[in-house]
Structures are given as C-alpha cells and as structure tokens.
C-alpha cells in the first residue's frame, strides 16, 4: 500500500501513531515496524506506564499524548530525546484543545 501511494504521489508521507512495537504487535496485530512508515509517533496515553513508554519515544519521530496530559508538557518539551509532540483531543473538540495548548505555551 505504501509503495503504491508513494508511486502515485512521492511527496506523501506515511506516518503512524501507535503503541510501542511490543504492545502494537501483541495486542493489536499491528506490526508497524515492518510497514515502511516514514515517521512513527508513540502513543503514550496511559500515565501508569508513562516513564516506561518514554524509552520507545526516543527512537521515534515523537510522542502522542492526550489533552488530559497537559500537566506533562513542560517535562516533554524539556526532554532532548523527544523530537515532536502530537496532542489528541479526548473530547473530540480539536479547536478547544488547540486553544488550551496555545494558552499553556504562551
């Protein structure tokens, strides 16, 4: 699929946001390390294992958090191993989440 899409449009980037490779494959049958993705962002929505998940983030394009984890922004921004941060609105209202994020980072 990736090859066909890139053949049609070489400028397209195939990015994925998923759990770490172990969880992805074991619990979701998602073998994304073999999917030839251009960039991978690791979902770290569970605060219970947040620190454990960070070891996967350093080898990826970045981290994905929910708006419920804005309390972690300073820690993530100051972490040199984190290249990018994606924020997903847990309430389905991306405009409100973007507004809150902007206020927090001004």
Q: pLDDT tens-digit profile of 82-91?
A: 999 999 999 9
For the stretch 64-77, pLDDT in tens is: 999 999 999 999 99
2 is written with which tokens?
A: 């990736």
CA 58 vs CA 11, 24, 54, 66: distances in Å: 25, 17, 7, 18
Q: What pLDDT score was predicted for residue 98?
A: 95
């Amino acid at each position: 699929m990736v090859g066909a899409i890139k053949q049609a449009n070489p400028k397209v980037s195939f990015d994925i946001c998923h759990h770490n490779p172990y969880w992805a494959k074991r619990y979701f049958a998602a073998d994304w390390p073999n999917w030839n993705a251009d960039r991978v962002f690791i979902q770290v929505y569970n605060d219970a294992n947040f620190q454990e998940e960070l070891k996967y983030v350093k080898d990826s394009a970045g981290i994905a958090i929910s708006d419920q984890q804005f309390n972690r922004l300073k820690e993530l921004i100051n972490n040199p191993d984190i290249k990018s941060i994606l924020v997903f609105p847990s309430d389905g209202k991306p405009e409100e989440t973007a507004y809150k994020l902007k206020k927090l980072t001004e």
